[in-house]
């Protein structure tokens, strides 16, 4: 009898508790009936919906940002505020810049990969690295050296494409571009030759490990259990640790090689290499800088993600856009042909006769054309520059960029943000907003960047592919130089066709790369 009463009492308490929980959840949902953001639940916030849409996160956000210029997404341990209005972007990137650092949360997510490198730190450590890197990027020696390196590797890529065209062989052009930009940044940034674009396309364990690590640290932003998995060394975090070992082995080898070369090199100034790593190694000799091999490791990996991934991803999307917009391909080709004839006349040289079926004459002509390309001459190619910029508008290399919030603040549109949360501006969505770009915002139209056939830029708070304010990308000119060098050669001498049935979609990582690569066939052009 006592047991029955106890069970009856317990059942009653559970019933009341269940009713209270359901009532709480119903009230919570009722209060959100006019909310334009994602559905949220007590304790979970919007984590469930965000996780279910993780594979299409950028388009999931786009849907909500089409309804409202600011979207608030509560999560279990923080709140994300996503913005697409240039006024709000200017506020966090410039007007109230000190209140929106990378922040501790972002640093904790990315530290295993980027450490205390320039893209993952704030304050004095960030300022010191930026000052050094800015000095190097402003150097004419580095610019001229970069142009030679970018030309060299663009020609190596051209050789591979010529061979593929001979055998009607399918190639993953994104994979080839990743190899080209990795070789380039290692040569320009670190003064070493790694040969991933060699004719036999050797297996590249570093690149594979780097991509894996990049995807896993991106997942941390919405995975509330990543610290537990890291502690238990299980699942994605176990794979991350294996990838980091491969990455570190490569990186420390690069540092050791460069240090050895510097020690063995003659001391005459004209023999010293002008790569970025050498500059940081030189600074490390000053004990006041506290630069260790770990510091140099972080420098290397931050410049790899900046110089390899972003550029290769943009080049891939640009080739895809050219393939799927024939009028753009024709306009780029026409500009390059005219440029070639004008430059040859200026240099007083005769263009070599070539025919696509004569491989030797074709390759000589490609090389001759490449020698006409340098930093100054490439600046004449306004339509090519516009085509690349339009690609970045719709397919920005960094599709989202989160910032921490130090103190409570109010954005220009009236949105309140709380200390400890994160505010993320979303270049992927911003480029597709009619209130930013007009009724044809989703259309690929390079002409929007030209006035009387001359390129004109937009506000960096509207076109945010290179960020803005104090943290604006230092490597913008270098990135355009490499992209224009490569695309001038590729679009002048090759026509690409998408392999039938190949699906083009993005992969969720910090960089907007293609999930399945970009498989194409290649034909030579006269």
Q: Is 441 helix (H, G, I), strand (E, B) or coil?
A: coil
Burial of 302-337, coded b for 16+ CB within 10 Å and e otherwise, reads: bbbbbbbbbbbbbbbbbbbbbbebeebbebbbebbe
Contacts of 400 (CB under 8 A, 6+ apart): 57, 58, 61, 82, 424, 425, 426, 427, 428
Distances (CA, A) of 422 to 37, 52, 116, 194, 395: 16, 21, 20, 38, 23
Q: What's the N-to-C CA distance of the chain in angstroms? A: 97
Nearest residue to 319 (alpha-carbon basis) of 395, 425, 372, 257: 395
β-sheet bridge partners, residue 238 = none
Contacts of 474 (CB under 8 A, 6+ apart): 130, 133, 134, 137
Cα-Cα-Cα-Cα dihedral of 129, 132, 138, 139, to 10°? -140
β-sheet bridge partners, residue 506 = 514
Q: Is 491 helix (H, G, I), strand (E, B) or coil?
A: helix
What are the tokens at 151?
A: 């030309």
Q: Is 473 annotated as a binding residue?
A: yes
As annotated, the binding site includes 473
Which segments are annotated as binding site for heme? Answer: 473
């Amino acid at each position: 009898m006592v047991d029955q009463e106890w069970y009856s009492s317990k059942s009653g308490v559970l019933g009341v508790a269940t009713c209270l929980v359901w009532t709480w959840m119903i009230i919570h949902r009722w209060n959100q009936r006019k909310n334009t953001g994602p559905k949220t639940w007590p304790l979970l916030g919007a984590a469930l919906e965000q996780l279910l849409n993780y594979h299409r996160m950028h388009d999931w956000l786009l849907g909500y940002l089409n309804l409202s210029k600011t979207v608030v997404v509560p999560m279990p341990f923080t709140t994300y505020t996503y913005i697409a209005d240039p006024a709000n972007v200017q506020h966090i990137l410039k007007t109230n810049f000190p209140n929106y650092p990378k922040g501790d949360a972002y640093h904790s997510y990315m530290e295993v990969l980027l450490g205390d490198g320039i893209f993952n730190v704030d304050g004095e450590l960030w300022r010191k690295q930026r000052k050094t890197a800015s000095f190097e990027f402003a150097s004419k020696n580095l610019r001229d050296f970069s142009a030679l390196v970018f030309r060299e590797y663009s020609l190596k890529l051209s050789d591979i494409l010529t061979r593929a065209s001979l055998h009607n062989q399918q190639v993953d052009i994104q994979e080839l571009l990743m190899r080209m930009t990795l070789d380039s940044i290692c040569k320009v940034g670190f003064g070493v030759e790694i040969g991933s674009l060699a004719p036999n396309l050797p297996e590249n364990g570093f690149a594979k490990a780097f991509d894996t690590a990049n995807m896993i640290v991106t997942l941390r932003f919405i995975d509330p259990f990543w610290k537990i998995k890291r502690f238990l060394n299980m699942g994605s975090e176990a794979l991350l640790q294996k990838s980091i070992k491969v990455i570190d082995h490569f990186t420390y080898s690069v540092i050791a090689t460069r240090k050895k070369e510097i020690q063995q090199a003659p001391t005459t100034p004209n023999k010293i290499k002008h790569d970025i790593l050498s500059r940081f190694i030189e600074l490390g000799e000053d004990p006041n800088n506290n630069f260790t091999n770990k510091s140099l490791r972080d420098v290397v990996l931050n410049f790899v993600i900046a110089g390899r991934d972003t550029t290769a991803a943009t080049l891939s999307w640009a080739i895809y856009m050219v393939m799927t917009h024939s009028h753009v391909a024709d306009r780029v080709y026409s500009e390059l042909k005219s440029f070639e004839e004008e430059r040859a006349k200026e240099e007083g040289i005769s263009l070599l006769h070539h025919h696509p079926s004569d491989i030797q004459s074709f390759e000589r002509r490609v090389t001759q054309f490449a020698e006409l390309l340098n930093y100054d001459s490439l600046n004449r190619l306004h339509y090519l520059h516009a085509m690349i910029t339009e690609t970045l508008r719709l397919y920005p290399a960094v599709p989202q960029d989160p910032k921490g919030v130090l103190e409570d603040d109010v954005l220009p549109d009236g949105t309140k943000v709380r200390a400890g949360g994160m505010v993320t501006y979303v270049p992927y969505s911003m480029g597709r907003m009619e209130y930013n770009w007009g009724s044809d915002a989703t259309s690929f139209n390079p002409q929007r960047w030209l006035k009387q056939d001359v390129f004109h830029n937009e506000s960096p708070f509207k076109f945010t592919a290179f960020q803005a304010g104090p943290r604006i990308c230092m490597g913008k000119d270098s990135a355009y130089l490499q992209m224009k060098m490569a695309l001038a050669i590729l679009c002048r001498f090759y026509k690409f066709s998408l392999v039938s049935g190949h699906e083009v979609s993005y992969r969720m990582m910090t960089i907007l790369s293609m999930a399945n690569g970009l498989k194409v066939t290649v034909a030579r052009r006269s």
